[in-house]
Amino acid sequence: MKKRKKIVHLLPLEEKRFKLTYIFFLVIIFSLFGRLVNLQVFSASDLKNKARSIQSSRTLSLTTRRSIVDRNNRLIAYDKFLYKLWAHPKYFNFPGDSSNTVRGVEEVVKKLSPILGIKDELLLEKFNDNSFGIELANQITEDKADKIRKLKISGLDLFKYSQRYYPQGKVYSNVVGFVNDENKGSAGLELHLDHQIKVLNKSIFIKRGGDGTPLPDNSGPRDFISDYKSLDLTIDSKLQKASFEALSKQVMKWKAQKGFAIVMDVTNGEILSLASVPSYDPNKFWKYNPEVFKGWYSQDLFEPGSTFKPINLALALEEKIIQENGFVEDTGKINVGGWTLSNWNKKGNGYIDYPEVLQVSSNVAMVKIMQKMQPSIYWDWLNKLGINTNLTTDLFESTAGHLKRKDVFVNQSIEPAVASFGKGFSISPLKLAQLHAALANGGYEVIPHVTFNFKESLKKGSQKRLFSSDVSETVLNWMESVVESGSGYKAKIDGYRIAGKTGTSQKAKNGIYTLKKVCSFVAALPVNDPKYVVLVVIDEPLNSYGAFGSTVALPVAKEIIESLIVIEKIPPITKENKRIVKKL
């Protein structure tokens, strides 16, 4: 028998109850609508910013600088990543602790001290009752930072930063310079080529999904990777070290004020070594007088003296006021405009040829030679050589040389007379090296530079021509005789043809020449296939009576040349590579 379904009779809702229900839901609807209006209109801007802060984050890349390397990729300067450790004691918490647990400072210090290598009591002193933002340690290595991370102690923060290191210390300081505590270039290439060395990182936004996953956007590939470029120098570190050590030894021996040595490729202006003394340790730059940061080899001027005589002889040949096989009478003294000029030893040498003029470094002979040239033409030549203009280079900003005004030079006979043996005008050591490079390479001006990306056309057709090839070769052969049988004989090396010239110039103060000297020696080699010029300048050796280019600067140059021969594997003269030498 089937059960009958129970019939439930629905009673109509009471009017009062219906109204209450209606009003209740109406209030809810209006409340939701009001909330919606508030979110969509009044709070829209705040909510939008909040959403952006959750969905995206701004990242700031570390400020870094490119490494500096030599021509063989040896490190000269590089950035090393280190860490600072900050502590916030009120948040100290160990893994496994409840969120409300705050560990004591002593407990944290006990775990940190073995890693940092700092005694417990020294670490405890750093806290000094502070509870927030305490710098515990600096210059923490990556290895130590990893060990600290593995502790997983809340309240410890590691801040990553980069610090500049110079592994070769004093050897390169006067070329490369240094960066200050704010990682900004402050001297040398670090300052002068700062735009090429520093990595221009930019601030970027990383968009994220609800689960924190980075979302695709229009960021470039370089936004997320490191910059692996470096500043490549033309310098050879082995030759640089050899030059620096030879120069330092001689400056110390003679108690000189400063010294400079350069080796340059005469075919393209690449500098293979550039040493300067006194120097400094760029890793501890704050310990030194700022005077040593200066690149005096391009910013200070000096009277080149006898090392300029080969340049003047080249000008005389160009103007055909002398012939290659000619002679000049050296009387030992000569009167010019009421001034008596003499040789360094006050003695005459009689009739001598032009190679011998260089061998004995005769001032009187040079005066007589250059007196054959009209002063205005002579001045124009010196101006063409760029004596009084700034030298273009990627090193320090150079100082223009000092040359008397043309009207003074032309109207006062003493001016061209003293200029004939390298006095009365001044140039930088770097400029002198450039001029001798032109003599060695066949007459072309090259731009001294230390970086491979220095923009210079190496095509001879676009280079400035200073001397003809015949004149350059002739003067180079004359300079070779100086090393073979003249004042530069101590620079002779068996099996190698070396051209050279010594120079000893008195320094002037308030227009009066003093006993203080600048000693120099310049060499070009090998004469059979000119490739390198070597210049050494030593300023104010203490024992001025025994100080000459041959005794002070030449020994340094010879040491450098010996190192250059080994490092560059320059072959000695053989029957196969010996070039015919003009008879002198």
Residue 583 is predicted with a pLDDT of 35
162/71 same-domain check: yes
> What are the contacts of 88-92 at 24+ separation with CB within 8 A?
88/131, 88/132, 88/133, 88/134, 88/155, 88/156, 88/157, 89/127, 89/130, 89/131, 89/132, 89/134, 89/155, 90/131, 90/132, 90/155, 91/154, 91/155, 92/153, 92/154, 92/155
275/314 same-domain check: yes
**How far from chain centre, in Å, is Cα 496?**
32
Beta bridge partners of 339: 336
End-to-end, the C-alpha distance of the chain in Å comes to 147
173, 208, 232 - which closes a domain: 232
244/220 same-domain check: no
Residue 455 is predicted with a pLDDT of 58
232, 266, 286 - which closes a domain: 232
Q: What percent of the chain has pLDDT over 90?
A: 57
Q: What is the 3-state secondary structure (H, E, C) of 62-124?
A: CCCECEEECCCCCEEEEEEEEEEEEECHHHCECCCCCCCCCCCHHHHHHHHHHHHCCCHHHHH
Residue 30 is predicted with a pLDDT of 79
215/84 same-domain check: yes
Contact by Cβ (8 Å): 370, 316: yes
pLDDT bin (cut points 50, 70, 90) of residue 224 is: very low
Q: Is 18 inside a domain boundary? A: no
Quote the CA–CA distance of 155 and 132 in Å, as a whole number.
Answer: 9
Each residue's pLDDT tens digit, 395-411 = 877 889 999 999 999 99
Q: Which residue has the higher pLDDT, 345 or 62?
A: 345
- pLDDT above 80: residue 220: no
337/411 same-domain check: yes
- pLDDT above 80: residue 323: yes
Which is nearest to 306 in space by CA: 520, 484, 480, 539?
520
- pLDDT above 90: residue 314: yes
* 556: its two tokens: 């340094």
Mean pLDDT confidence for 307-332: 96
- pLDDT above 50: residue 225: no
Q: Is 60 inside a domain boundary? A: no
- Least confident span in 40-49, 161-170, 205-214, 423-432: 205-214
232, 249, 264 - which closes a domain: 232
Of 173, 248, 298, 306, which one is the catalytic site residue?
A: 306
Residue 360 is predicted with a pLDDT of 95
449/306 same-domain check: yes
Mean pLDDT confidence for 248-257: 96
Q: What is the mean pLDDT of the chain?
A: 86
Q: Is 353 inside a domain boundary? A: yes
pLDDT bin (cut points 50, 70, 90) of residue 53 is: low
Mean pLDDT confidence for 255-273: 96
- Least confident span in 165-174, 206-215, 411-420: 206-215
Residue 392 is predicted with a pLDDT of 85
* 310: its two tokens: 């080969």
- Read off the CATH number of the domain in which 139 is found: 3.90.1310
Residue 254 is predicted with a pLDDT of 95
DSSP 324-345: TT-EEEE-SEEEETTEEEE-TT
Give the CA angle between residues 102, 104, 110 to the nearest 5°: 130
496/412 same-domain check: yes
- pLDDT above 70: residue 215: no
- Least confident span in 46-60, 63-77, 192-206, 442-456: 46-60
DSSP 274-297: EEEES---GGGGGGS-GGGGS-HH
Each residue's pLDDT tens digit, 150-189 = 888 888 888 888 889 999 999 999 999 999 988 889 999 9
pLDDT bin (cut points 50, 70, 90) of residue 55 is: low
Q: Is 30 inside a domain boundary? A: no
425/550 same-domain check: yes
Q: Is 136 inside a domain boundary? A: yes
Contact by Cβ (8 Å): 86, 127: no
- Identify which of 54-58, 78-82, 416-420 has the greatest average pLDDT: 416-420
373/340 same-domain check: yes
438/379 same-domain check: yes
Residue 398 is predicted with a pLDDT of 84
Q: Is 464 inside a domain boundary? A: yes
* 188: its two tokens: 């040398």
In order of 43, 93, 269, 460, the CA distances from 463 in angstroms are 70, 71, 12, 5
Mean pLDDT confidence for 279-306: 92
For residue 218, the tally of other CB atoms under 10 A from its CB is 5
323/355 same-domain check: yes
Q: Which residue has the higher pLDDT, 538 or 453?
A: 538
- Read off the CATH number of the domain in which 541 is found: 3.40.710.10
- pLDDT above 60: residue 59: no
Q: How many domains does the chain have?
A: 2
Q: Is 576 inside a domain boundary? A: no
Contact by Cβ (8 Å): 386, 428: no
Residues of the domain holding 545: 237-567
Quote the CA–CA distance of 327 and 347 in Å, as a whole number.
Answer: 18
Residue 373 is predicted with a pLDDT of 97
Residue 228 is predicted with a pLDDT of 67
The DSSP bridge pattern shows strands 67-69 and 230-232 to be parallel
The DSSP bridge pattern shows strands 230-232 and 56-59 to be unpaired
Quote the CA–CA distance of 291 and 175 in Å, as a whole number.
Answer: 14
pLDDT bin (cut points 50, 70, 90) of residue 57 is: low
pLDDT bin (cut points 50, 70, 90) of residue 460 is: very low
pLDDT bin (cut points 50, 70, 90) of residue 221 is: very low
Residue 531 sits at φ, ψ, to 5 deg, of: -135, -35
Contact by Cβ (8 Å): 68, 168: no
**Is-cis flag, bond preceding 375, omega within 30?**
no
Contact by Cβ (8 Å): 416, 409: yes
Q: Is 21 inside a domain boundary? A: no
The DSSP bridge pattern shows strands 327-330 and 258-265 to be unpaired
Q: Is 306 a catalytic residue?
A: yes
Quote the CA–CA distance of 569 and 106 in Å, as a whole number.
Answer: 64
- pLDDT above 50: residue 580: no
227/242 same-domain check: no
Q: What percent of the chain has pLDDT over 70?
A: 86
